Amino acid sequence: MGSKITAIEYCFPEKELTNDDLSIEFPDYDFSKVEKKIGVKVRYIAGQNETALDLAIRASLKLLEKIDKSEIDFILYCTQSPEYKLPTTACILQDKLGLKTNIGALDFNLGCSGFTYGVSMAKALINSKQASNVLLITAETYSKYLNVLDRSNRSIFGDAATATLISYSDEEMIGNCLFGTDGSGYDKLIIKNGGSKNEFSFNPERISYGSGNCYTDNELYMNGPDVFNFTIDKIPPFSEELLKVNNCEKETIDQYIFHQANAFMLNSLRKKMCVDTDKFYIDLNEGGNTVSSTIPIALKKYSLLNLDDNEQNIMIVGFGVGLSWSGGVIKIKNKL
């Protein structure tokens, strides 16, 4: 008994935010630097009345063109942009998609490590015979959490949703996964207000940080240097652990597809890990950092260009808010 990633679909909102658009808002900054260093040319931004669930529905409907929806028997919904504080957004998605009612459905709150967590959970559900076809959703609208004057984060983050079908397979195509957590860094990427700890403020203090950026405690704050240092410190040795637990040699990995945080960070990881450029996927040009959706989007794009019944070993690793990281080694034979 095993499991495999069968198909992936994704969608962006219609509204584009280009570097030229940002240059109009911030005329004193050269956004060509963003494209060169961070790797982002355009990101997509949810409309005022458009939610992560709306994007999730669109991505799911694209996926359901490939499978009889009656075969879906579990929904895993990864988001930090829930429709409501309660109920669970996955329950709403079940109804919106017209799926059967004798299925499981749950949300889990994770950011950039969310997809790899979800793949591992889906594998466990299938291998324990609790499900045969798991619909894994990632959906975020971080743009709604950003201060209009937060130039740095607005240049990095975009909104998106993905739908991934993980199914029963005679051959195990999803290898062993590992996880890491360091909650002492919880405040490195955080929205302080609006939860149980701190109420949403109707008159929040504007806080300056970095080089001319602003935010309030109602909005997202990211300590970029600390997140970068955490990533460079944790992820290279973590990747070595993944090789060992999956009985792989470095040379047997055909492609490394990591969370697409930004090109500078990814290139720094690649160099520290001594991986050739053609084996280390970097593509943020269209969409930017879409949080939990970056890895499935990258997997989809990579498979369309590089796979045609030629099995490949791919290491997937997510890392970020939490602080949290996770990953595994998967096999893919076909275009997703």
With the C-alpha atoms ordered 294, 300, 305, 311, is the resulting torsion angle positive or negative? positive
Give the Cβ contact number of residue 226 at 10 Å. Answer: 14
Give the Cβ contact number of residue 212 at 10 Å. Answer: 13
Shared domain for 82 and 137, answered yes or no, is yes
Residue by residue, pLDDT tens for the chain (336 residues) are 899 999 999 999 999 999 999 999 999 898 988 899 999 999 999 999 999 999 999 999 999 998 999 999 999 999 999 999 999 999 999 999 999 999 999 999 999 999 999 999 999 999 999 999 999 999 999 999 999 999 999 999 999 999 999 999 999 999 999 999 999 999 999 999 999 999 999 999 999 998 889 999 999 999 999 999 999 999 999 999 999 999 999 999 999 999 999 999 999 999 999 999 999 999 999 999 999 999 999 999 999 987 777 889 999 999 999 999 999 999 998 889
- State the Cα–Cα distance between residues 133 and 70, nearest whole angstrom: 10
Domain boundary among 156, 172, 188: 172
Q: Are 28 and 84 in contact (CB under 8 A)?
A: no
Shared domain for 86 and 186, answered yes or no, is no
Domain boundary among 119, 148, 172: 172
CATH number at residue 124: 3.40.47.10
Shared domain for 164 and 183, answered yes or no, is no
The DSSP letter of residue 230 is H
Look at residue 189 and give its three-state secondary structure.
strand
Shared domain for 20 and 168, answered yes or no, is yes
Shared domain for 207 and 164, answered yes or no, is no
Determine the structural domain holding residue 220 and report its residue range: 176-332
Shared domain for 136 and 207, answered yes or no, is no
Domain boundary among 147, 172, 197: 172
- Residues with catalytic function: 112, 259, 289
Domain count, the chain: 2
Shared domain for 7 and 113, answered yes or no, is yes
On whether the pTM is more than 0.85, the answer is yes
Shared domain for 224 and 159, answered yes or no, is no
Cα–Cα distance list, 232 to 70, 164, 263, 314 (Å): 43, 28, 13, 20
